[in-house]
Amino acid sequence: MATREPPPPQAADSLLDVERSFGQRLAYAGRFLWRDRSGMIGLVLFLVVVAAALFAPQISPYNPLAQNLRDSKIPPAWYQGGSLDYLFGTDNLGRDIFSRIIYGTRVSLTVGFFGVLIAGTLGLVLGAIAGYVGGRVDSIIVGGVNMVLSLPYLLFVVFIASILGRSLINVILIFGITDAPIFARVTRGEVLRIRESGYIESAISVGARSGRIIFDHILPNLIGPLITLATFEMSRMIFYEAGLGFLGLSVPPTVPSWGNMLAAGRKYLTSSPWIATFPGLAIMFTSLGMNLLGDWLRDVLDPRLRRSRK
């Protein structure tokens, strides 16, 4: 009936507790993962997607670009008229949907990974400068960050993408740049928190140099929140990339990406619904896996944000 959080038990410290050895931390993460079934599911889903991207040529039964107009719009294997030759059926140009889904992971993961890499790097640098230098530099960076974050994100991404034109690099750059402010905000917050905690002062007082302080004290504390954020943002980028593809604004139409497949399938929705169904499911399971993984990472890496559990 009463509602206070319990006093934190001493053994329940963070994975990144500096006092613990790497092995201990790993064991702790493992224990946590085992107990958290949804985190386990998330990890498995994510690994499946990564494996599909890495081994796409080995897994795919067909060339994802190979057209075979004689075999167009064949339904999935378990439907009437389907055949085991094409597990998920074929699209309007007779291309194997299963192979295209497998190759689609490459586009999604590339956009997600490099987008987050750019956004994370930019954000880390900007946020760290803002938090560490403070003063006027801080106000300018915070002002810019707030500005970008208060604009309608999706509208802007669509606007920019429509101007820049369809290419993988453009999509990565758009997400990498527009998403940097979120990383900057989190980084700045963490840097300020670490500064306030006082051990920077003690490091300065024993004569540590700025570079040392950043590498020894600030970066290790940033890893947890940033990895968690990166997971969620990567999931968001994969999602939005598909959205852009759906509007015909992402990678060129010849590239097998889930968004492009959706856009094509939309035209044949009533006659051949499977063309649009499978890419949507692929996006959903990827996003689901990364969200579950992100929730789990947040629990393990950042005990301050830990969900309340039974």
Residue ranges that bind another protein, judged by CB under 8 A: 1-7, 9-12, 35, 143-144, 146-147, 150-156, 158-160, 162-165, 239, 242-243, 246-249, 262, 265-266, 269-270, 273, 276-277, 279-280, 283-285, 287-288, 291-292, 307-310
Q: Based on CB atoms, which residue is closest to another protein, 204 or 281?
A: 281
Q: Which of 283, 249, 236, 238 is nearest to 170 (CA)?
A: 249
What is the rounded CA–CA span in Å between residue 57 and residue 60? 6
Tell me the C-alpha distance between 280 and 258, whole Å: 7
- Both tokens assigned to 297: 């990472």
Tell me which residue of 282, 163, 284, 301 sits closest to 230, measured CA to CA: 301
Nearer to another protein, 118 or 174 (CB): 174
The nearer residue to another protein, 95 or 236, going by C-beta atoms, is: 236
From CA 34, how far away is CA 214, in angstroms rounded? 34
Min. distance of Cβ 242 from another protein in angstroms?
A: 6
Cβ of residue 288: shortest distance to another protein, in angstroms? Answer: 4
Supply the minimum distance, in Å, between the C-beta of residue 67 and another protein. 23
Nearer to another protein, 6 or 81 (CB): 6
Phi-psi bin for 148: left (phi > 0), alpha (psi -120 to 50), beta? alpha
What would the DSSP string read from start to end of 194-222?
HHHHSHHHHHHHTT--HHHHIIIIIHHHH
* Amino acid in position 190: E
Q: Which is nearer to another protein, 26 or 247 (CB)?
A: 247
Residues in the chain: 310
Q: Are 192 and 133 spatial neighbours (Cβ–Cβ below 8 Å)?
A: no
| Least Å from the CB of residue 17 to another protein | 13
Closest distance of CB 277 from another protein, Å: 7
CA distance 165 to 250: 8
Cβ distance to another protein smaller for residue 57 or 253: 253
Nearer to another protein, 84 or 196 (CB): 196
Residue 286 CA to residue 46 CA, distance in Å, equals: 6
Query: Minimum distance from CB of 272 to another protein (Å)?
Result: 11
CB of 279 to another protein, least distance (A): 8
